[in-house]
Structure 1
Amino acid sequence: MSSAESRPGAGGREAAGPRPVRAAAHDGVDVAMTVNGTPVELHVPARLTLLDALRERLGLTGTHTGCEHGVCGMCTVLVDGDAARACLLLACQLDGAEVVTVEGLGRPDDLHPLQAAFGRNHALQCGFCTPGFLMSSYDLLSHEPAVAEEDLPEQLSGVLCRCTGYRNIVTAVAETARAYPGGPPAPGNCAKRVLTGRGGPGAGAPAGAGGERVPAAEAGAEDVAIRLPDAEPTVTVDLTSELAVDEDRLWRVLDDVHTLARCLPGAELTEELGPDRYAGRARVAVGPVKLSFTGVAHVLERDRERGRVHVVAQGQDTGGARTQGDVVLTLDRADGGLTLRAAADVYLTGRIAQFGRALAGDISRRMFEQFAESLEQAAAAGAAPVRPGAAPSALGLMAHALRRRVRAFFARITGRGEEGGRR
């Protein structure tokens, strides 16, 4: 039996005495919880399980779907500090709960000691049971750090391994228990961030100040407020480009918001909503994923004297993917030349975020590189070179991202930095 099954009240929801929720099976219920350190608000059907809420609404697919009867342990998570089967809990039961999934245990560059021990001891084969074993093992060692090694097979038997790798799993857990006799370190990847669910009604938007849901874009509404999440960006872009163009001609483009928007691949403005507010659309095609966003942009600052343009924007496509951005362009006139710096915090949810942070970062950086190139050409020619509404080339973006990674790899192994004017 697992450690969660051996303790009365494991999962904490019965003992905590949650407020009763009465709703028909398909009625929507508002739920606010904290998942891996991120406050989220969900509007979900009363019958939706925590497992489906984590995977479908919040994009946390590390919690695996197995038997959906509470037998196999694939969906084990921590609820208020105790192991629980996510397939047996309804999301509407967890108002006010703290949930930790395997994604919250450690980071790729800083694994939790349990994760590192599993890797060292080859305690994962196909990986299907690994999240369940990690969370169940963490729960066991947290509550019973002095568990005897000979008792581990029975204590961990509540999670089933399809590859029969139990011996190595027990070895990894025993190694961690010896290294941390007082109990394992706390989960190391719990912090405010944007969760990358599939979007649509009830998607897990981070709670904003005062608990309000961060709104999706509603293009064409003059009173739309662009509120960026109080969380870690999905992608951070910081690029510097040397521009061989006259500053006055460049500012003609920066002052013409329609031309400026067309310099960003696949984007164009469609309507002026009021002072420095605009509606627009953007198309992105990466591999099989083709998205068409509609949204709004607000120019917060355009200061020629300081050489600074500050824009915030948000958009949503019909499939529920959402994007928000905080972009600052800065012109530096040092050494007689003109340098453009583009700094952006980008928040992605839905299908567009499912490429992973590294690839999404590569593609975002390439788009901003193309923006700088188009901006320079527009200043020289007096018109944006990008056809309005044209989606950026998926193959081009992907190929460039892969080339950058290959160059970076060889630069690391040869000890040389990347070369090139733009970076």
Structure 2
Amino acid sequence: MSLPNAYARTEADETVDVTMTVNGSEVTMSLPARVTLSDALRDHLGLTGTHVGCEHGICGMCTILVDGQASRACLLFAVQLDGAEIVTVEGLGRQDDLHPLQESFSKHHALQCGFCTPGFLMSSYDLLTHEPDVATDDLPGELSGVLCRCTGYRNIIDAVDEVANAHRAGLPGPGNCAQRTLVGRTPAGAGTSATAEDAQVAVPGHHPDEIALPSGEPTITVDVTSQLESTPEEVAGVFHDIRLLARCLPGAELTDELGDDWYRGRARIALGPVRLSFDGIAHVLEQRDDRLTLKAQGKDTGGGGAQAEIVMTATPSGTGVSLHAEARVFLTGRIASFGRSLAGDVSRRMFEDFARGMDRAAAGAEPDVGAKPPGAVAILFGALSDRARTRYRNLRQRSRDHRRRDGRRPPSRDER
């Protein structure tokens, strides 16, 4: 396969539209040229049955079918496959109607940890489709392209051999490939299945019925209060102007109004060498002079995603306004690997920058923080400095408490 000439050269953050049929459903994704098929399937379509092991094409865990041929998903770029037909392990069978290979693997307990199982199932399907008369003695060599970490080869060979003997006339095809059906889960875990409509990215005028946040504890929670010099009336004006409100967030931009209080936009952030670019949608649930509630979700073009519920409340305080922001944020993919503590610090720093931008916007000035995305120096250094100062204060307080318990007074300023 070769990269189409139209996609032969793209910038690092530039996306390319690619359309393919996955498990019987035509889906369109907007992806950077560097995104592999395995990442597109897992992070953008939620088809996590395709496992990623070595990412060098050796272990075989990511084996899928491309136009009926077994292929390593980690060695293919998604943009190479425009117009291709993809079948993943999710398309092989349904829970209430397993494929014969799946039934045989279960019967023979041809798995231990299960990590290699999707690769073996898809590789076995390809083998028995193209060589239905394969001999039992040849199976170890034929299946050696997938590596089992639990040394469970004997049961795997028995399972495949049984299916081969039972279907010499031809192996049944994948039983879970139907138009507009993607049997996986949404990347943020919002449900148990994803449709082709869920998988489409940047479809003009399109929005889901709702943004369903995952159940359970969020990855991070944000609770930030900032003091604004603007009056309540001025802040209310920003709350009712969503385009202006979006520009207050560093690196954010509203790109389309979808109607019914739905909006499409993008946000960029740079954390040292890691650059994240999110395309997403937001739904305004409540819009009052003193309160704004919305849900948002986005996908990072390099893999991963975020969902959030955000509530902002403006309360008169002196001559200005106290802006209180609460957020429940659910992260997936590489952005979640930063850890809860650091991700929380970064999120809080972004809300503080947003408050400063909002104060400028409320006063009639353009929010300059939206001119460029926040970078590592602006966010990480500030967040880590805050943590260092907090830790230093806590250590000093513990030292004072320890002296008091020992009957010693803290040193005076002159003594210090």
TM-score normalised over the length of structure 2: 0.51
Shift of residue 51, structure 1, vs aligned partner: 8.1
* Structure 1 residues without counterparts, runs of 5 or longer: 1-26, 30-39, 58-82, 94-131, 133-200, 417-423
**Which of 26, 40, 49 is equivalent to 1:44?**
49
Q: Does the CA-based 8 Å contact 2:186-2:192 persist in structure 1? A: no
User: CA 1:272/1:220 → structure 2, altered by over 3 Å: closer, same or farther?
Assistant: farther
* 2:49–2:118 Cα contact (<8 Å) kept: no
Give the aligned partner of residue 78 of structure 1: none
- SS of residue paired to 1:381: coil
Greater Rg, structure 1 or structure 2? 2
Q: How many positions carry a matched residue from both structures?
A: 253
Identity of aligned residues (%): 39
1:398 paired residue number: 380
Unaligned runs of 5+ in 2: 1-21, 25-44, 54-58, 64-72, 75-110, 122-148, 150-182, 399-416
Amino acid at match of 1:414: R
2:355 & 2:200 partners in 1: Cα distance?
Answer: 26
Deviations 1:171-223 (A, max 9, x none): xxxxxxxxxxxxxxxxxxxxxxxxxxxxxx96773654676689467334434
Among 220, 238, 247, the alignment partner of 1:262 is: 247
Distance 1:295 1:348 in 2: 14
Equivalent residue, structure 2, for 1:408: 390
C-alpha displacement of 1:385: 2.2
| Per-residue CA distance 1:82-114 (angstroms, 9 max, x = gap) | x94355544898xxxxxxxxxxxxxxxxxxxxx
Aligned to 1:227: 211
Q: Is the 8 A contact 1:294 1:315 kept in 2?
A: yes
Deviation at 1:410, TM superposition (A): 1.2
Residue 328 of structure 1: CA displacement?
A: 0.6
How far apart, CA to CA, are the structure 1 residues paired with 2:278 and 2:214? 22
State which of 226, 240, 262 in structure 2 corresponds to 1:277: 262
Query: In structure 1, what is the Cα distance between the partners aligned to 2:397 and 2:61?
Result: 46
CA contact (8 A) 1:216 1:322 kept: no
- Is 1:303 aligned to 2:288, yes or no? yes
The answer to whether structure 1 residue 85 and structure 2 residue 129 are counterparts is: no
Among candidates 332, 346, 361, match of residue 363 of structure 1: 346
SS in 2 for 1:412: helix
How far the C-alpha of 1:413 sits from its partner, in A, is 1.4
Contact 1:315 1:322 in 2 (8 A): yes
5 Å matches for 1:83-122? Answer: 84-90=112-118
Give the aligned CA root-mean-square deviation in angstroms.
Answer: 4.2
CA shift, 1:341, in A, is 0.5
Aligned-pair distance for 1:327? Answer: 0.7
| Alpha-carbon shift at residue 379 of structure 1 (Å) | 1.2
Residue 306 (structure 2) pairs with residue 323 (structure 1): yes
The residue matched to 1:415 in structure 2 has which SS?
helix
| Distance in structure 2 (CA, Å) of the matches to 1:204 and 1:51 | 21
8 Å contact 1:331–1:339 — kept in the other structure? yes
Aligned AA for 1:407? Answer: R
Contact between 1:295 and 1:313, CA under 8 Å: does it hold in 2?
A: yes
Trace 1:2-81 onto structure 2 (pairs within 5 A): 42-45=47-50
Distance in 2 of aligned mates of 1:325 and 1:254: 18
